[in-house]
Amino acid sequence: MTVPSSTPEAVPPVSEAAYAGGREPGADPREPLRSHDHAVSLSTGHAAADPLLDGLLRLAAAHFGVAAACVVPGEAPAVRGRDAGVDETVYEALRTLAHRTGESGAREPLIVPDISADPAWCNVLAHASKPLRFVAAWPLYGAQGEPVGSLCLIDPAPRELDAAARASLGDFARVAATLAARPTLATSRELDVPATVEAARYAELEALREQERLLAHAIEGSGTGIWDRDVVTGEIRYSVGWKAILGYSGHELTSRIEDSYGRLHPEDAEYVKAAMQAHFEGRTPTYEVEHRIRCKDGRYKWICSRGKVMSRDANGRALRMIGTTTDITSMREMAERLRESAALVTNLTNEVPGLVFQRRQVSGGRALFSYASAGIAEIFELAPEQAAHDPACIDALIHPDDRDAWRDSFEQSAANLTPWHLEFRVLLPQQGLRWRQGDARPQRLADGTTVWHGFITEATERKRIEAELQEFASTDGLTRLANRRHFMARVEAQLAQVRRGGASAAVMMCDLDHFKSINDRWGHAIGDDVLRHFAEILRTQLRAGDLAGRIGGEEFAILLAATDLEGAHSVAQRIQERFAAQPLAVVGDVVALTVSIGITLMNAADMSAEAALTRSDFALYRAKKGGRNRIECA
């Protein structure tokens, strides 16, 4: 209970009329009131001057079950009249009480549950014509925090106001302060405001009320609550919707900020307080935090609170702050599920050997890797951020001979929306020359951008194996020269070029002289060494575009591209001379070596590659028949 520090001035007696509308004469003052005709507004000086305010006061009197409810200005000049339902002496006492409350700067209500039991108020009874036992005065403040009066409750019976009733009285006081500050129709008439202006103001007021109702419905359906904090006293009021977020009903929460802080999750409390303090000190334009708060059932919810200081004193100290709270639990849960899904996908792609990527190419042609898994470090020796910010860094690593194919393959895929596939080489700073294989599927977006989702993997080992298999399929296992099948395929391709008008080409057949005798005398192992020795001489004497092959046994064939008969004869002569000049050394001896060679030119009239090979074979036969170690042309 709050009481004056000294005995108050005597309150004049209360007349019979003061309670005439509340209870029947002689009724027990503790019985409930039947009506409250004397709940009046004294702020305007006229009974029923403002229907909304007077209706609010009647509602307050009925809610608390008291004889009368009044809005009393805090300063005498503001009073211009009173209602006949409240005795003048009672009204003057209430006005004095409100004036003192305002001057003291108190923000807590003055509540006297029983005047007769309070020594500070005993002298009131000596002057009262009817017992005045209960008085409550809640100070009212304007938009800037200035005291403007009090909302007063009076009753002839003693009573107590519990925490819920005090909270309700505070709610009534805030609404009363707002209504008392509005210009009323009666005030307009006193000021001689034209009726049309008066009607327009009233219509505007009704429109604002309708907007308030719509806003209230919208807020109620959005899972958002409103709070209003008195920074100086530490009092915070919550809307019904705010309480509902936490599962509370209208009167189940206190209005102390300390209790509000007690509902914060322990891990979030310091962060929330720091954000609030930063806004109080003007370091942030608004207050906005996301944090967890304990509900009535003990569970925690995620909420987003936003607010702003609405008034400050002359020194910039925060006085009043208003804000909203929104339940964001479902959004946080969804965000957490999305985060977990994204983490799972990222972990999966990062663990897959190779590069999982997303490539975007705008209609103008500029392309970048908008996503790259951790495998880019192995495939291109780059970080994902490098590929995203500098698309040229990957192009620079493509082997120069494959760079055009790399770019053209994407252009072709984008033009036709066909799957992208390419085997290409890269030159990397650490790994050197490596093979890569890429596959992706394109998708066209509405803005014309083409997006590929795909995979690039290491292909060096596979390409090596393929090359070995190709070599095994196309080369002679002993000499590592082309085998007959591969050699004939090349001759066929050369013949097609000759038929198209290309340069002439020559075919030579070579046979090692006396090879059977070498095998008989030195053994087949030495014979194999002789064959390998001759193959090596051929490799040293031929140009890059020429091809040598082992046709069978000790017979070899040579394809000389872009060569006439004279040039072919010159090559045959060098081979013959080098072979004879480099006999094969064996243990304690050497193996003398010679070769017979037949030469022919390919021509467009040849039916097949076999025709040229047959002519050169005839020339070889003549060389061997003529004494061996000879060169013959056909």
Which range of 22-31, 420-429, 581-590 scores highest in mean pLDDT? It is: 420-429
State how far the Cα of 395 lies from the Cα of 391, in Å rounded to an integer.
7
Nearest Cα residue to 134 out of 105, 116, 154: 154
Tens digit of each residue's pLDDT (9 = 90 or more) over 130-166: 567 888 888 888 777 777 788 888 888 888 888 888 8
The answer to whether 554 is a known catalytic residue is: yes
At position 111, the amino acid (one-letter code) is: I
CB 603 within 8 A of CB 496: no
Q: Compare 65 and 98 and report the one with higher pLDDT.
A: 65
* Sheet strands (E) in 163-265: 224-230, 235-238
Residue tagged active-site, from 24, 92, 281, 554: 554
Q: Which residue has the tokens 């709050």?
A: 2
**Residue 131: Cβ-neighbour burial (10 angstroms; 0-12, 13-18, 19+):** middle
CATH annotation of 477-633: 3.30.70.270
Topology of the domain comprising 222-332: Beta-Lactamase (3.30.450)
Tens digit of each residue's pLDDT (9 = 90 or more) over 599-624: 999 999 999 999 999 999 999 999 99
Paired tokens of 126: 């000596």
Nearest Cα residue to 109 out of 140, 78, 69, 143: 140
How far is residue 160 from each of residues 71, 110, 115, 245, 311, measured CA to CA in Å? 21, 12, 12, 30, 33
List the single range of 13-17, 199-203, 523-527, 577-581 with lowest mean pLDDT: 13-17
Q: State what percent of residues in the chain have pLDDT above 70.
A: 77
The top-level CATH class assigned to 16-190 is alpha beta
352-464 and 477-633 agree in CATH topology? no
State how far the Cα of 279 lies from the Cα of 272, in Å rounded to an integer.
11
pLDDT (average), residues 82-97: 53
Dihedral sign of CA atoms 374, 377, 379, 384 in order: positive
DSSP-assigned states of every residue in 372-404: E-TTHHHHTS--HHHHHH-THHHHTTB-TTTHH
Can you give the pLDDT at residue 45?
Answer: 39
pTM: 0.44
Structural domain boundaries in the chain: 16-190, 222-332, 352-464, 477-633
State how far the Cα of 576 lies from the Cα of 538, in Å rounded to an integer.
10
List the single range of 100-104, 231-235, 522-526, 549-553 with lowest mean pLDDT: 100-104
CATH annotation of 352-464: 3.30.450.20
State how far the Cα of 139 lies from the Cα of 188, in Å rounded to an integer.
26
Can you give the pLDDT at residue 104?
Answer: 47
- Indicate if the pLDDT at residue 5 is higher than 80: no
List the single range of 123-132, 317-326, 442-451 with lowest mean pLDDT: 123-132
Confidence of residue 309 (pLDDT cuts 50, 70, 90): very high
pLDDT (average), residues 317-325: 92
Can you give the pLDDT at residue 92?
Answer: 60
Q: Which residues contact 346 (CB under 8 A, 6 or more apart)?
A: 373
Can you give the pLDDT at residue 341?
Answer: 75
Tens digit of each residue's pLDDT (9 = 90 or more) over 473-507: 899 989 999 999 999 999 999 999 999 987 889 99
DSSP-assigned states of every residue in 452-484: EEEEEEE-HHHHHHHHHHHHHHHB-TTT-SB-H
How far is residue 623 from each of residues 78, 219, 360, 547, measured CA to CA in Å? 140, 109, 67, 22
Query: What's the mean per-residue pLDDT of the chain?
Result: 81
Can you give the pLDDT at residue 91?
Answer: 58
Confidence of residue 228 (pLDDT cuts 50, 70, 90): very high
Q: Which residues contact 131 (CB under 8 A, 6 or more apart)?
A: 29, 116, 125, 156
DSSP 530: H
Tens digit of each residue's pLDDT (9 = 90 or more) over 7-55: 333 333 333 333 333 444 344 433 433 333 344 443 333 334 567 788 7
Can you give the pLDDT at residue 43?
Answer: 38
Q: Compare 352 and 575 and report the one with higher pLDDT.
A: 575
Dihedral sign of CA atoms 431, 433, 435, 440 in order: positive
